[in-house]
């Protein structure tokens, strides 16, 4: 009988270095471990109500009830996911009238939220665009965008987006950088609620980017994680999508229902590509399936069944719109109140940019030393890049946070 032991002091994994992740994960862990009663989490990445609690939407609860009553089985969905979900997601993403005319040309695939959309989308593009085509991403953007591009085999490059001095979009920088990009480049654009800055483009700026897109044969890849969650209005938040698609520009769209339906734990998203005709759409879907099969075989259905129910049931859809408005309006209110509180305290800095922005995030320019002081002295947790999540603010903590911000920044220019 064979009897032996493998050498125990040999390590297969000895050359594996410690992996560095993005700014989010460490903050959450620290906050959780803190037992200071007035602690504030401004790194929270999902919505909180005015009591600082996560919210389960009523429309979602009702939809889940309806899904459960159907007593569906647990069989494998198709590789591309639930068709009814894909159709509903495309409809809300592209708008009813565009959908009515063009839905046969839109290749859609259910994915694992926004990350899954970017991963599948980039892998697809790497396979089919001319080799050497770069992805241009805004500076700054979600940490994972350039990392996923690399994993998918695409080179990425930044275009100027955020001016840290004015705390607004550096539009001339953006235009220059996109204008000097090679023709046929892929450009990643945040449709609304730019993460991490909170700075979104105005309609006239989108129009100029549209012109640039046509001139340079750019392939626009929209990351739309916050539709409805930004302004409370689904159409307004998707205005860039409407503009580009109505102009006949074929776009790529990644959608997520994590935030706008509070379904973050279920990972529900959709990747879609506008094709020239139905035949092409079927071909593109077949190729997306080939890639998805080796990533996850098929997506999880729980969240998709819920989303599809909300979007297709008129009563639930109406209820959801109300709930979206409540969330968006609360965040807007916090922005305005926070700016006012800082002004009332007598801060020497101009914080008005915060009230002009929409959605979850703002990039404050607060530096590492000040971030450290905010944590250690005031138990207020920001993201490592100085970003704040507006959802972490509420009527009970806003004055405390404003006071703390004032204390750490009154002598420092930011």
Partner 1 sequence: MQKLQLLQNQYNPTSDDIFYHIVQAPPDPIFGIANAYKADTSSTKIDLGVGAYRTDEEKPYVFEIIKKLEKEIVNDPTLNKEYLPIEGLADFNKGCQKLMFGQNSPLIASGQIVTAQCLGGTGALRVGFEFVKRHIPGDVYVSKPTWSNHNQVIERAGLNQFEYPYFEPKTKGFNCAGTIECLSQARMGSIVLLHVCAHNPTGVDPTEAEWLQIADVCKKRRLVPFFDCAYQGFASGCIEKDVFAVRKFAELGFQMIVAQSFSKNMGLYNERVGAIHIVTSNKDISARVLSNLKIVIRTICSNPPAIGARIAAKILTDEKNFNAWVEELKTVTGRIIKMRTLLKQELDNLQVPGNWDHITRQTGFFTFTGLTPEQCDLLTKQYHVYLLRSGRMSMAGITSKNVRYLAESIKAVVQKK
For position 135 contacting partner 1 by CB under 8 A, the verdict is: no
Residue placing its CB nearer to partner 1 in the complex, 17 or 346: 17
Least distance (Å) between residue 231 CB and partner 1: 23
Which span sits near partner 1 by CB under 8 A: 30-38, 69-77, 198-206, 331-339?
69-77
Binding positions for partner 1, 43-62, rule CB under 8 A: 45-46, 54, 56
Contact residues for 48 (Cβ-Cβ < 8 A; gap 6+) = 54, 55, 391, 392, 394
For position 283 contacting partner 1 by CB under 8 A, the verdict is: yes
Binding positions for partner 1, 244-273, rule CB under 8 A: 248-250, 258, 262-267, 273
Per-residue interface string for the shown chain with partner 1, residues 3-32, x marking contact by CB under 8 A? -xxxxxxxxxxxxxxxxxxx--x-------
Which span sits near partner 1 by CB under 8 A: 140-148, 223-231, 329-337, 340-348?
140-148
Least distance (Å) between residue 163 CB and partner 1: 29
Q: Are 414 and 364 in contact (CB under 8 A)?
A: yes
Q: Are 231 and 358 in contact (CB under 8 A)?
A: yes
DSSP string, 369-407: HHHHHHHHHH-EE--TTSEEEGGG--TTTHHHHHHHHHH
Contact residues for 24 (Cβ-Cβ < 8 A; gap 6+) = 43, 45, 383
Residue placing its CB nearer to partner 1 in the complex, 19 or 346: 19
Residue placing its CB nearer to partner 1 in the complex, 231 or 385: 385
Binding positions for partner 1, 364-393, rule CB under 8 A: none
> Looking at 67-185, which runs of residues are DSSP E strands?
106-112, 134-139, 155-160, 162-163, 168-169
Which one among 26, 77, 164, 173 touches partner 1, defined by CB under 8 A?
Answer: 77
Both tokens of residue 384?
């490592």
Binding positions for partner 1, 199-228, rule CB under 8 A: 214, 217, 219
* 3-class secondary-structure state, position 148: helix
Is 187 exposed, middle or buried (CB count within 10 Å of its CB: 0-12, 13-18, 19+)? buried
Which span sits near partner 1 by CB under 8 A: 128-136, 346-354, 383-391, 405-413?
128-136
Least distance (Å) between residue 306 CB and partner 1: 10
Conformation bin of residue 233: beta by default, left when phi > 0, alpha when psi is -120 to 50? beta
Give the pairing of strands 252-256 and 268-274: antiparallel
Could you tell me which of 57, 63, 62, 103 has the C-alpha nearest to residue 83?
103
Per-residue interface string for the shown chain with partner 1, residues 78-97, x marking contact by CB under 8 A? xx------------------
Least distance (Å) between residue 387 CB and partner 1: 17
């Amino acid at each position: 009988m064979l009897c032996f032991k493998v050498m125990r002091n040999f390590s297969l994994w000895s050359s594996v270095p410690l992996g560095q992740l993005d700014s989010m994960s460490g903050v959450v862990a620290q906050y959780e471990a803190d037992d200071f009663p007035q602690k504030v989490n401004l790194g929270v990445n999902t919505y909180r109500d005015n009591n600082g609690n996560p919210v389960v939407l009523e429309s979602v609860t009702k939809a889940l009830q309806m899904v459960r009553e159907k007593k569906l089985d647990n069989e494998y969905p198709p590789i591309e996911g639930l068709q009814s979900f894909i159709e509903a997601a495309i409809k809300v993403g592209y708008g009813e009238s565009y959908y009515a005319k063009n839905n046969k040309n839109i290749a859609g695939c259910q994915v694992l939220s926004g990350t899954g959309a970017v991963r599948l989308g980039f892998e697809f593009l790497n396979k089919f665009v001319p080799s050497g085509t770069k992805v241009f991403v805004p500076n700054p953007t979600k940490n994972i965008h350039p990392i996923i591009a690399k994993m998918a085999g695409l080179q990425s490059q930044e275009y100027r987006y955020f001016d840290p001095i004015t705390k607004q979009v550096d539009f001339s920088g953006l235009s220059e950088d996109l204008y000097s990009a090679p023709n046929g480049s892929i450009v990643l654009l945040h449709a609304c609620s730019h993460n991490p800055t909170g700075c979104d483009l105005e309609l006239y700026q989108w129009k100029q980017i549209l012109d640039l897109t046509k001139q340079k044969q750019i392939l626009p890849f929209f990351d739309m994680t916050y539709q409805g969650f930004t302004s409370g209005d689904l159409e307004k938040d998707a205005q860039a999508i409407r503009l580009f698609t109505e102009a006949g520009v074929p776009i790529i769209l990644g959608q997520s229902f994590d935030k706008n339906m509070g379904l973050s734990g279920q990972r529900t998203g959709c990747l879609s590509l506008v094709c020239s005709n139905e035949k092409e759409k079927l071909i593109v879907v077949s190729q997306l399936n080939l890639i998805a099969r080796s990533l996850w075989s098929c997506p999880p259905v729980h969240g998709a069944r819920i989303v599809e129910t909300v979007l297709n049931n008129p009563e639930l859809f109406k209820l959801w719109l109300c709930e979206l408005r409540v969330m968006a309006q609360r965040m807007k209110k916090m922005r305005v109140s926070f700016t006012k509180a800082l002004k009332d305290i007598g801060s020497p800095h101009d914080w008005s940019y915060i009230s002009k922005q929409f959605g979850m995030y703002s990039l404050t320019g607060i530096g590492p030393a000040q971030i450290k002081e905010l944590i250690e002295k005031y138990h207020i947790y920001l993201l490592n890049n100085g970003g704040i999540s507006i959802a972490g603010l509420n009527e009970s903590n806003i004055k405390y946070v404003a006071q703390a911000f004032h204390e750490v920044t009154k002598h420092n220019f930011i």
